[in-house]
Amino acid sequence: MTKKFNVAVVGATGAVGTEMMHLLEERRFPVKNFYAVASSRSKGKKAFFNKEEYTIQALDEFSFENIDIVFSSPGGAVSKKYVPRAVSEGAVVIDNTSAFRHDPAVPLVVPEVNPEAAARHHGLLANPNCSTIQMVVALHPLRELSRIKRVVVSTYQAVSGSGTKAIFELEDQVQSFVDGGDLVNKEYPHQIAFNCLPHIDVFQDNLYSKEEMKMVNETRKIFEDEEVMVSATAVRVPVFRGHSEAIWVETEEKIDPEKARRALKESPAIVVQDEPEKNIYPLAVNCRHQDPVYVGRIREDISCSNGLVMWVVADNIRKGAALNTVQIAELLVHKKLL
């Protein structure tokens, strides 16, 4: 008989928390008792899981003593405050925020890439940044052919990565543009409708943004290779859902594009869409609510002797956040790491 677990979703009213609940249902995760948890503002509201209604409980009043697994996505500052308490009360926490990703004692896990890292957990595992997840999933099959020396990536990230308010801002700006009204900026420093903003999160002393440096540091941690060189430019684009990335990768040994294409096709996490002569390549509009990472435009980098270029697209809310978190939990169950 399959063991079942007491499960809490923290941040249950957010886009990622809601997606987590859908995936736990869809993938038939072995849930014994379920708890929906959010901020005190949402206390008393209703959430639905497995066709049952649950009353949302306030995080600051919630006890984790009888919880086996916590799926956490309430924001970094909140996670820093409550996650240590949840772990001390005996729960295993899979945190989807940036709060613990760079802690050397906390495994940063993408199950298709570094499942072995999960065994090193001490009650807490971290989910990488959404843009990092889809990139390392696409890079991993190439990395098995030859060590990766250098990665240059430009991201084209959907507004849903900023949260629900950003989605509404894009909707409102598009409507205002059509109606001839004024476009109001609240979530972003500039108009996002019909525009591209090379600015995600705050800029650091080295003039890279925090989002860009997440991709640098998280890739090194996941690959357990501090020498791999990574440079990122993160751009917010007027797309509701689905991140796109142009990736240049340099390897120690030359990889033929056809060999790379075959290796990518063999990965169960990847769908290769690479027939540009037929206008077939990954598109953000087609990846919404889908599990895979989509890869196309695979070609030789003509500026580098051992280089490849590819175009990578994934649903940032699903694979980039909720799905990867659920997959980590499935890995813990399968490997009896709980």
Report d(CA 316, CA 323) in Å as an integer: 10
DSSP per-residue string spanning 216-256: HHHHHHHHT-TT-EEEEEEEE-S-SS-EEEEEEEEESS---
Active-site residues, by number, are 130, 243
Which residues fall within 8 angstroms of residue 138, CB to CB, at 6 or more apart? 247, 264, 270, 293, 295, 310, 312
Per-residue CA distances from 266 to 120, 140, 269 (Å): 28, 11, 9
Burial class (CB in 10 A: 0-12, 13-18, 19+), 176: middle
Q: Which residue has the tokens 């050397």?
A: 104
Which residues fall within 8 angstroms of residue 21, CB to CB, at 6 or more apart? 9, 12, 36, 47, 48, 49
Residue pair 87/123 in contact (Cβ under 8 Å)? The answer is yes
The DSSP letter of residue 134 is: H
Residue pair 63/10 in contact (Cβ under 8 Å)? The answer is no
Which residues fall within 8 angstroms of residue 185, CB to CB, at 6 or more apart? 169, 191, 192
Report d(CA 192, CA 197) in Å as an integer: 7
